[in-house]
């Protein structure tokens, strides 16, 4: 019976990981987008984010606890990963602020991983789980980490492709401009020489 429970637990973890995808949001200039998750004291939480598009690819990040205490605060960050343990039961709030931008919106990809709350016995001591469950938890955490890393690699590829496209378009425009200048100079020289010989013929 216990093995059946473990198998079901594993299946639930795998399904949860399969549907745990990163979230894309747009933070307008002078705006702030906030989200929240509820957690029990001692629960491990991890916020991972990356700015995909907009301006200098920077954003202000802030995490606050149930009592309004600042857990983490970062300014003008392009990407980051911050893991912490909930210090009290309640709602934890995390915000992305684009207040520093005058007109450019930012596209941010983020994910918040909320672990399982530690279970305790009636005496208040933590329950020692067996080795198999610990291996399952480690496996699920590794799978989630790989999935998130894959998603962030896709975002980085998108950013690099955008930079390459922008660079290529600038090179093409500059080459086009140079071609126009050369054509204009050639036509100018032809016109000047033509006028020069016409003046000498008249004289």
Instruction: From 93, 83, 81, select the one nearest 33 (Cα to Cα).
Output: 93
Q: Say which CATH topology domain 2-158 has.
A: Jelly Rolls (2.60.120)
Cα gap 87→56, rounded to integer Å:
34
Beta strands in 23-67 (DSSP E): 23-27, 32-39, 44-53, 59-64
Task: Label residues 48-61 b or e (16+ Cβ within 10 Å = b).
Answer: bbbbbbbbebbbbb
- Who has greater pLDDT, 176 or 158? 176
pLDDT, mean over the chain: 80
Query: How would you list the strands of the sheet with 70-77, edge to edge?
Result: 32-39, 90-97, 59-64, 70-77
pLDDT at position 84: 92
pLDDT at position 18: 41
pLDDT at position 125: 47
Secondary structure class of 192 (helix, strand, coil): helix
Whether 1 shows a pLDDT value over 90: the answer reads no
For the beta carbon of residue 108, count every other beta carbon within 10 angstroms: 25
Q: Which of 2-11, 71-80, 84-93, 193-202 has the lowest mean pLDDT?
A: 2-11
**What percent of the chain is predicted at pLDDT more than 90?**
34
Cα gap 31→8, rounded to integer Å:
43
User: What average pLDDT score do residues 87-108 get?
Assistant: 93
pLDDT at position 6: 46
Secondary structure class of 57 (helix, strand, coil): coil
pLDDT at position 58: 92
| Residue spans per domain, the chain | 2-158
pLDDT at position 2: 43
User: What average pLDDT score do residues 98-103 get?
Assistant: 89
User: What average pLDDT score do residues 137-153 get?
Assistant: 73
Residue 8: both structure tokens together: 């079901």
């Amino acid at each position: 019976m216990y093995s059946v429970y473990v198998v079901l637990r594993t299946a639930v973890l795998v399904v949860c990981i399969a549907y745990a995808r990163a979230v894309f949001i747009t933070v307008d200039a002078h705006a702030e987008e906030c989200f929240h998750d509820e957690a029990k004291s001692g629960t491990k939480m991890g916020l991972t984010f990356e700015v995909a598009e907009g301006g200098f690819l920077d954003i202000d990040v802030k995490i606050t606890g149930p009592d309004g205490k600042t857990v983490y605060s970062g300014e003008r960050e392009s990407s980051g990963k911050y893991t912490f343990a909930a210090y009290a039961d309640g709602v934890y709030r995390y915000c992305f602020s684009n207040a520093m931008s005058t007109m450019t919106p930012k596209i941010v990809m983020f994910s918040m991983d909320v672990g399982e709350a530690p279970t305790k016995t009636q005496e208040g001591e933590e329950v020692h789980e067996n080795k198999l469950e610990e291996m399952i938890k480690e496996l699920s955490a590794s799978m989630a980490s790989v999935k998130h890393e894959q998603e962030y690699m896709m975002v980085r590829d998108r950013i690099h492709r955008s930079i390459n496209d922008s660079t290529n378009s600038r090179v093409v425009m500059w080459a086009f401009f140079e071609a126009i200048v050369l054509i204009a100079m050639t036509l100018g020289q032809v016109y000047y020489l033509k006028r020069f010989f016409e003046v000498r013929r008249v004289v």
